[in-house]
Structure 1
Amino acid sequence: MAAKPGIIPLRPLSLSDIFNGAVGYIRANPKATLGLTTVVVVITQALALILQLGPLLSMGKVGAQTGEELSTPAMLGSAASSATSGLTTALAGILLSGMLTVVVGRAVFGTKITVGEAWQRLRGRLWALIGFSAIEVLAVLVLVGVVVAVIAGVAVAGNGTAAVIVGIPLVLGLIAALVYLYTALSFAPAAVVLERKPVMAAIRRSFGLVRNHFWRIFGIRLLASVVAGVIAGAVAVPFSIAGQVFLLGADSSGPIILATTLTAIGGAIAQIIVAPFTAGVTVLLYTDTRIRAEAFDLVLQTGATAAPADTGAADDLWLTPGR
C-alpha cells in the first residue's frame, strides 16, 4: 500500500484522489487556505467596489445618467476605474494562486504552513509569476487580434459572405489554439513556484509535462472548472437575485449601491470557496503528472521518510535534477 504522509497517497493518482486531496488540504490547514483566501478576496472585492462606485458617487449621480446624459468625464472615470479594478483583481489572483501552491506543496507531506511562511516562500518568485501571466495574456491577445484582423480584412476587401467563409474555420482554430494553450501552460505556475524555474524554463517545463498526458489534464481541469462554476453559481446567484430585487423601481442611488454591494458579497463568498479547491486540483494534477512521467513518487516517498516534517527541507524535493 502506498505511503500517505499528507493529503494524497504517494502513487499515481485517480480522479477521486485529486479531488479529495484538493478538499483535504483545505480542511487540514484552514488558516492558510480559507483564511488567506478570505483576506485577499475581501480586500480585492472591497477595492473593486470602491473603484466601481467611486467616480459616480463623487458626482452624486449614481444611476441618474444614461445615454446622452452620461458625461465624458464620467465615462472616462468609469473606464479608468474598471481597468484599475481588473488589474488589481488579476494581481491578487496571481498572489493567491502562488501562495496556495506553496500550501499544497507542503500538504503533500502532511506539513502545515503559516501564511507568513507561505509568503516567504513565494516572495522571490512573485515577479516570475507576474511575468508568466503577462506573457499568457499577451499570447491570447495576439491570437485573437490576428484572427479579428484577418476576418476584418477579408470583409473590407471582399464581402460579408467571404468573411463568414474564412471566419468560421479561423474562429474554430482560435478556440482550439486557446484550449491547447490553456492545457499546455497548466503547470508553468507550479514550476515557477515549486521548482523555482525562470519564466521561459517554466513554460518549456509545462509543455514537456503535458505533452503525453494532454487529454487527461484537459479533462480533469475542465471537470474541476465545471464543479467550481456550479458551486460558485449556487452561492452567488441568491445575492444577485436579491440585488435585482432592490433595483426594481429604483429611482435613487441607494438601491443601486446596495444591489452592487450584494452582488460583490456573493462573488467574494463564491471565490473564497472555490479558489482553494481549483488551486489544489491544479497542483495535485501537476504532482500526478510528474509521478507518471518521472517516477516522482519515489522521490516523494524518500522525502516523506527522510525530511523532517516540521521544516522546509521537503521543499527542495520539488526541484528537478540539475537545478
Structure 2
Amino acid sequence: MPPPPKPGVVPLAPLRLGDVLGGALAVIGRHWKQLAGIVLTTYGLALAVIGAAVGIAFAVHSDRLDRVFDSDSAPRVDDALPLVLTFGAVYLLMFFVILVANAMISASCPAVLQDAVLGHPTTFRRIWRRALRRVWSVLGTVVLTALIAMVPVLLIGAAVGTLFITLITMSSNAGEFGWLVLGGLLGALATGPLAIWLWVKFAFAPAAAVFEGQGPIAALSRSARLVRGDWWRVFGIALLAYAMAAAAGYVIQLPFLFLSLLAPAFGGDAATSGVALAVVIVSAVIPLLAMLTGQALTAVFPQLVVSLLYVDQRIRKENLAPALAHAASAPPAAV
C-alpha cells in the first residue's frame, strides 16, 4: 500500500503523536519569518498601546503623583482616588489589549497552517490579512472559553486570599474564615474538572473560526462535535504541547524576572517621587516584557498543535484528506 501523500508538513492521513508534534515544529521551521513577523507586530502594537496609556496617565496626574509620593503626611483621598481609578482603567485596558493580541496569534496559527499543510508558499501579508479578518470571531471564542475557567480560578483566589488575611490578622473569627477557605477549595475542586472538560471540548473553536469562517458560537459548537469521542486524546496531546511551551517559556523569562528583582535595589530609599515612580515602572514593566517575550516565543507552538489536531479530526471523521490532496495540487490563489 503506497504511503499517503505529503505535500506539506504532515501526511494527508490520520496523524500520530509524532506527526502532530513534528508537523508543528516543521511549520515553525518553514515559516518562522512570517510567524516571527506576526508575533512581533502584534505584541509590538500591544506594547505601544499600553505604553501610550501609561504615559498619558502619568502626564495627566503628575501633580497628584508628586503630592502622594513626596508628602510626609498621609495622602488625601482627593489625590489618591483619581490615581486608583485611572490606573485601574489602564490595567483593564492592558488586559483587553493583551487578550486581543493573544486572539490575533490564535488566528494566525490556523492561517499559516492552511498553506503549510498544502505545501504552498505564504507571505506575512497573506497571513496577516487572513488572521485579521477572523480575529474578532477568534476573540469571541477566547473570551467565552476563558469565562469557563473563571469560576474555579475565582474560587481558588478567594480561598487563598481569605487564608492569607486570616494568617496575617490572626482574627478571633478564624473558624468562620476557615469555612470560607474550605468552601472555596471544595468549590474549585467541584468546578475544576468541568472547566477542563469544557476547555478541551472547545479547543478547536479558534481553528474552526479561521478555517471555516464560523462565528464564535458556531465555532464552539463545531469544536464540540469534532472533539466528541476523542476527548482524552485531544486533552493528552494538547496538555503535552502546553507543558513543552511552558517549560521553554519559563527558561526564557528567567533573566527578565531576575532583573525585576534587582530593580528595587537600585532605587535606594526612593526618597523622591521620581525615583519611586521609576522603581514602580521598572518593577511593573520588566515582568510584562518577560510575559510578552515568553508568549511571543512559545504561544505559537501549542496553537499549531491544536490546529493540527483539528485537521486530524476532520481527516478521521469527515474524510478531508482527498479534498486536501486536490487543494494541494491547485495554485494557492485558487484554494
TM-score normalised by L of structure 1: 0.81
Q: Which moved more, 1:286-295 or 1:114-123?
A: 114-123
Count of aligned residue pairs for this structure pair: 303
Compute the displacement of 1:115 (Å).
2.6
Corresponding residue of 2:6? 4
Q: How do 1:18-167 and structure 2 match up within 5 A? A: 18-52=20-54, 55-56=57-58, 58-59=61-62, 61=65, 64=69, 69=75, 71-141=80-150
Structure-1 separation of matches of 2:297 and 2:210: 23
Structure-1 separation of matches of 2:184 and 2:95: 30
Q: 1:132 to 1:65 in 2, by over 3 A?
A: farther
Match of 1:118, SS state, is helix
Structure-2 separation of matches of 1:312 and 1:121: 15
Compute the displacement of 1:291 (Å).
2.0
Report Cα offsets for 1:167-200 as digits up to 9, x if no partner: 5543212101110111000011111110122333
What amino acid is aligned across from residue 59 of structure 1 in structure 2? Answer: S
Q: Is the 8 A contact 1:52 1:82 kept in 2?
A: no
Q: 1:276 to 1:166 in 2, by over 3 A?
A: closer
What amino acid is aligned across from residue 46 of structure 2 in structure 1? Answer: T
Structure-1 separation of matches of 2:55 and 2:253: 20
Residue 311 of structure 2: which of 284, 287, 290 is its match?
287
Structure 1: runs of 5 or more not aligned: 150-158, 314-323
Report Cα offsets for 1:263-292 as digits up to 9, x if no partner: 333333222211221221111111112222
| Structure of greater relative contact order (alpha carbons < 8 Å, 6+ residues apart) | 1
Q: 1:127 to 1:261 in 2, by over 3 A?
A: closer
Q: Percent of counterpart pairs with the same letter?
A: 26
Q: Is the 8 A contact 2:152 2:192 kept in 1?
A: no
Q: Is the 8 A contact 1:18 1:281 kept in 2?
A: yes
Residue 320 of structure 2: which of 296, 299, 308 is its match?
296
Structure-2 separation of matches of 1:165 and 1:272: 38
What amino acid is aligned across from residue 5 of structure 2 in structure 1? Answer: A
Corresponding residue of 2:171? none
Q: 1:247 to 1:162 in 2, by over 3 A?
A: closer
Structure-1 separation of matches of 2:24 and 2:14: 15
What amino acid is aligned across from residue 95 of structure 1 in structure 2? Answer: M
Structure-2 separation of matches of 1:255 and 1:162: 39
Corresponding residue of 1:179? 196
Q: 1:147 to 1:226 in 2, by over 3 A?
A: closer
Structure-2 separation of matches of 1:241 and 1:145: 29
Cα RMSD after superposing both structures: 3.2
Higher-Rg structure is 2
Q: 1:147 to 1:278 in 2, by over 3 A?
A: closer
TM-score normalised by L of structure 2: 0.79
Structure-2 separation of matches of 1:279 and 1:141: 21
Compute the displacement of 1:261 (Å).
3.8
Corresponding residue of 1:311? 333
What amino acid is aligned across from residue 300 of structure 1 in structure 2? Answer: L
Compute the displacement of 1:134 (Å).
3.7
Q: 1:30 to 1:89 in 2, by over 3 A?
A: same
Compute the displacement of 1:254 (Å).
3.2
What amino acid is aligned across from residue 246 of structure 2 in structure 1? Answer: G
Structure-2 separation of matches of 1:115 and 1:34: 9
Corresponding residue of 1:217? 234
Match of 2:212, SS state, is coil
Q: Which moved more, 1:76-85 or 1:23-32?
A: 23-32
Structure 2: runs of 5 or more not aligned: 159-175
2:213 corresponds to 1:191: no
Corresponding residue of 1:17? 19
Report Cα offsets for 1:288-321 as digits up to 9, x if no partner: 122222232233233324x22x3251xxxxxxxx
